[in-house]
Amino acid sequence: MHVPDGFIDAPVSVAAGAVAVAGVALSLRGARRELDERTAPLAGLVASFIFAVQMLNFPVASGTSGHLLGGALAAILVGPYTGVLCLSVVLLMQGLLFADGGLTALGVNITDMAIVGVPVAYGVFRLLITVLPANRRSFTVAAFTAALVSVPTAAGAFTLLYALGGVTDVPLGTVAASMIGVHLLIGIGEGVITALTVGSVLAVRPDLVYGAERLRVPLQLRTTPATGGGR
């Protein structure tokens, strides 16, 4: 879903760029709370893994393919703020090194896939984890659904930006229907890849999965008063 240059006009591209900068700045603050000495290296791995899997287009309906966006994957593995940063790093690399996603459209792409896609994915995941019983199957279902929903949502965000600043004048209903329709199909692939990946990490290192704390042995909250108050 990498938007090239010349799809969205300059003012809306600039505005999306401002949204992207603000979102990344907010995420830089938020990520400090999500990352510790163990998970910070994992976040770098998650970014490079998403880059790799984004290269693996899988066929969907008639003459179309899709690939992982990775918003749900990143949010569940390393947390939503860190996830936004992971996707932004990937999109920056793709635009700068591989001419994938226009440079003037970088803000549009970060906004659609990272700023919108990641929190939506994480919200759906959190919601399902809360209402479903706390077990591995619920975790898989939540991961799949979060990933599935995030892709057409990102497509919807693109449609919204197109409505505001599309260079061409294709009827909005047509853009919305075809974008969301095809990305619903791609979302199924996104869901499968995400569920498989987070499931694999959960199987070997559940302690590294940000979104899995409910599956772990609960930490004991000690309420004994701190003695000395940190020297």
Partner 1 sequence: MTRRPRSNRTFLLVGVLVALLLAGVVSYYASSRPDGLEKVAADKGLDRGEEEHDLADSPLADYQTDEVGNERLSGGLAGVIGVSATLLLGTGVFWVVRRLPRSQGPRTGPADPGRG
Touching partner 1, residues 161-190 (CB under 8 A): 162, 166-168, 170, 174-175, 178-179, 182-183, 185-186
Distance CA 118, CA 115 (A): 6
* Residues within window 24-53 making contact with partner 1, judged by CB under 8 A: 28, 31-32, 35-38, 40-53
* Residues within window 140-159 making contact with partner 1, judged by CB under 8 A: 155, 158
Q: Does 97 bind partner 1 (CB under 8 A)?
A: yes
Q: SS3 for 8?
A: strand
Shortest Cβ distance from residue 127 to partner 1 (Å)?
A: 26
Distance CA 24, CA 1 (A): 19
Q: Does 21 bind partner 1 (CB under 8 A)?
A: no
* Residues within window 210-229 making contact with partner 1, judged by CB under 8 A: 217, 219-220
Question: DSSP letters of 146-212?
Answer: HHHHHHHHHHHHHHHHHHHHBSS---HHHHHHHHHHHHHHHHHHHHHHHHHHHHHHHHH-GGG-GGG
Contact 203, 197 (CB under 8 A): no
* Residues within window 73-92 making contact with partner 1, judged by CB under 8 A: 82, 85-86, 89-90, 92
Distance CA 231, CA 210 (A): 31
Nearest to 198 by CA among 184, 185, 209, 187: 209
- For partner 1, the closer CB: 132 or 162: 162
Distance CA 141, CA 147 (A): 10
Shortest Cβ distance from residue 21 to partner 1 (Å)?
A: 15
- For partner 1, the closer CB: 36 or 137: 36
- For partner 1, the closer CB: 131 or 221: 221
Q: Does 108 bind partner 1 (CB under 8 A)?
A: no
* Of positions 58, 123, 128, 138, contacts partner 1 by CB under 8 A: 58
